[in-house]
Amino acid sequence: MEHALYGAVLIGWTAAAVAAFLFLLRTSAPYGRHTRAGWGPLIGKRWGWFLQELPAPLVMALLFALGDRQGNRVAWVWLALWELHYLHRVFVYPLRLRGGTAKMPLAIVGSAIAFNVINGYLQGRYLFTLGPLPPTSWLGDPRFLGGLLLFVSGMLLNLDSDNRLFALRRGDAADPYPTPHGGAFALVTSPNYLGELIEWIGWALLTNAPAAAAFALWTAANLVPRALAHHRFYRARDPSYPPRRKAIIPFVL
């Protein structure tokens, strides 16, 4: 029974990613530099990020505890990688936010909470209960190792790029959005998004789970349109913006 329900939710979830992509190409999610009036009550961005990301590590840990894989080494590795990403996103990232747009709409926080609950269910239920029991030899499989390499390098790129953005606000510069330079900003406007995308493609490979592929698709649906919007933003305000820099995929897009 749950298998059928799970399959239906996953199909709907994948279709929703395509719909979200088409919507976000026309309407940037109203937070950060794209914040605008008309999206209801606001919340401080540190609290907003904390609350909206918190369900992701909680749901995964809960589904691990409720599942039947506590004796499985691969399941522990999957759980550890997920928690590594999300414990940083929940407890470290919000504390590092400063300046710029101080508040974000509660509507964004609410939709991100819903996203993280559904996505967490789809990942955790498959990995820790409904999916095939992975043998320990999976940890030596080229798909696992290649995925792990992507996951870790994507995370490092994401962290490095976000660090460079945070550093731009350390002084008392009047402009909240100076043109970033250094690292992978030489190639793209949003290397933090590129890193995030690489990370979740790696996750899809290292778990070999359809839900993980759907999450990578969702990440692209969210971040490719937003990177294009950031790119237009810089171009519109800075005539000397590096002309060869792309939005998110080096040399391509």
Please select the residue that binds ligand NDP; options are 67, 180, 191, 202, rule is CB under 6 A.
Answer: 180
Return the number of the residue (131 or 225) whose C-beta is nearest ligand NDP: 225
Q: Minimal distance in Å, beta carbon 143 to ligand NDP?
A: 21
Q: How far is CA 224 from CA 152, 156, 176, 247, in A?
A: 20, 19, 22, 8
177 forms part of the interface with ligand NDP (CB under 6 A): yes
Q: Phi and psi for 43 in degrees, rounded to 5?
A: -140, 150
Please select the residue that binds ligand NDP; options are 158, 205, 206, 248, rule is CB under 6 A.
Answer: 158
Q: Minimal distance in Å, beta carbon 64 to ligand NDP?
A: 21
Closest CA to 83 of 107, 60, 51: 60
Q: Minimal distance in Å, beta carbon 84 to ligand NDP?
A: 14
What DSSP character marks residue 188?
B
Q: Is the dihedral of CA 125, 129, 132, 135 positive or negative?
A: positive
Nearest residue to ligand NDP, by Cβ distance, number only: 100
The rounded Cα 51 to chain-centroid distance in angstroms is 15
116 forms part of the interface with ligand NDP (CB under 6 A): no
Cα Rg for the chain, rounded, in angstroms?
A: 19
Please select the residue that binds ligand NDP; options are 13, 126, 196, 211, rule is CB under 6 A.
Answer: 196
Amino acid letter, residue 18:
V
* Lookup: tokens for 196: 């995030």
Q: Phi and psi for 99 in degrees, rounded to 5?
A: 60, -160
Return the number of the residue (24 or 74) whose C-beta is nearest ligand NDP: 24
192 forms part of the interface with ligand NDP (CB under 6 A): yes
20 forms part of the interface with ligand NDP (CB under 6 A): no
Please select the residue that binds ligand NDP; options are 188, 207, 219, 247, rule is CB under 6 A.
Answer: 219
* Lookup: tokens for 26: 């026309």
Query: Segment near ligand NDP (CB under 6 A), from 63-71, 78-86, 125-133, 192-200?
Result: 192-200
Distance CA 40, CA 64 (A): 36
Helix crossing, 45-53 with 106-125: angle to 10°?
Answer: 20
Q: Which of residues 44-103 bind ligand NDP (CB under 6 A)?
A: 97, 100-101
Q: Minimal distance in Å, beta carbon 49 to ligand NDP?
A: 8
Distance CA 203, CA 208 (A): 8
The residues that touch ligand NDP, with contacts defined as CB under 6 A, are 32-33, 97, 100-101, 158, 162, 165, 168-169, 177-178, 180, 190, 192-193, 196, 219, 222-223
